[in-house]
């Protein structure tokens, strides 16, 4: 990996994002690229920032702590996201570090986030993770569990659900991928009409390096890219 590789990759990604958005009549300014930095060091993270991307993500709390212990990274004006499964015993550690938790995948976790946020006296923003494909290897709520989760969230004071996150199966079947994203967008649109004080559909986080163009075509506002940026 080289700095020039990162520059070239990001330039190509921006072009692909723009083309995918325009294909379905969207403005590419609606889509935010989040760089997933779990496999790279500070030099690469900083170069991503130099290329104009300021949203970074980690999938583990320990890796996030390591990144934010580096003085060079601390000096950068980055917005950090947590995109991986979050254990309840790590909630108090991660809350001061991130702006958005993409992976709220259980009522138990939501309650713990609300509890720890109340101790800090601050709102915490997160996304409801959906497992639309019902894969046992993935976390997240099934469709028939959504209403119960939102019913519980309505009782909370500090946790704010700002949208939905989902992942498509690892498959070369484009239509299967598209159907998952299409379903997530339909749920997103449906929930957007609900007026609840702490549930607001602002973000639809879906699409990774192998499928982000399909995700954009189906309504994604946040895409999470690692391999396509760094390799």
Could you give the CA distance from residue 55 to residue 80 in angstroms, rounded to a whole number?
6
Please state, as a whole number, how many other Cβ atoms lie within 10 Å of the Cβ of residue 97.
Answer: 14
Q: Which helix (H) or strand (E) holds 90?
A: none
Per-residue pLDDT of the chain (231 residues; tens, 9 = 90+): 678 899 999 999 999 999 999 999 999 999 999 999 998 999 999 999 999 999 999 999 999 999 999 999 999 999 999 999 999 999 999 999 999 999 999 999 999 999 999 999 999 999 999 999 999 999 999 999 999 999 999 999 999 999 999 999 999 999 999 999 999 999 999 999 987 889 999 999 999 999 999 999 999 999 999 999 999
What tokens does 19 get? 């083309």
Delineate the domains of the chain, giving CATH numbers in brackets. 3-230 (3.20.20.10)
Report pTM.
Answer: 0.96
- Rounded to the nearest angstrom, the gap between the alpha carbon of residue 17 and the centroid of all alpha carbons in its chain is 17
DSSP 75: T
- Residues present in the chain in total: 231
What tokens does 160 get? 């704010």
Per the DSSP assignment, residues forming a β-bridge with 36 are 57
């Amino acid at each position: 990996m080289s700095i020039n590789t990162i520059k070239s990759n990001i330039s190509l990604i921006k072009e692909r994002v723009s083309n995918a958005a325009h294909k379905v009549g969207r403005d590419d300014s609606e889509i935010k690229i989040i760089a997933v930095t779990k496999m790279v060091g500070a030099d690469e993270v900083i170069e991503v920032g130099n290329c104009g991307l300021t949203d970074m993500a980690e999938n583990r709390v320990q890796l996030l702590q390591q990144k934010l212990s580096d003085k060079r990274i601390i000096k950068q004006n980055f917005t950090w996201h947590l995109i991986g499964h979050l254990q309840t015993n790590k909630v108090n550690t991660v809350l001061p570090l991130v702006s958005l938790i993409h992976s709220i995948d259980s009522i138990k976790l939501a309650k713990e986030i609300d509890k720890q946020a109340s101790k800090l006296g601050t709102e915490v923003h997160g996304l409801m993770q959906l497992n639309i494909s019902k894969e046992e290897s993935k976390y997240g709520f099934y469709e028939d569990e959504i209403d119960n989760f939102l019913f519980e969230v309505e009782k909370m004071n500090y946790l704010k659900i700002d949208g939905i996150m989902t992942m498509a199966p690892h498959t070369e079947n484009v239509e299967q991928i598209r159907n998952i994203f299409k379903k997530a967008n339909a749920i997103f649109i449906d929930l957007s009409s609900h007026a609840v004080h702490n549930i607001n559909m602002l973000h639809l986080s879906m699409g990774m390096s192998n499928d982000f163009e399909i995700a954009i075509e189906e309504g994604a506002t946040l895409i999470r890219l690692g391999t396509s940026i760094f390799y």
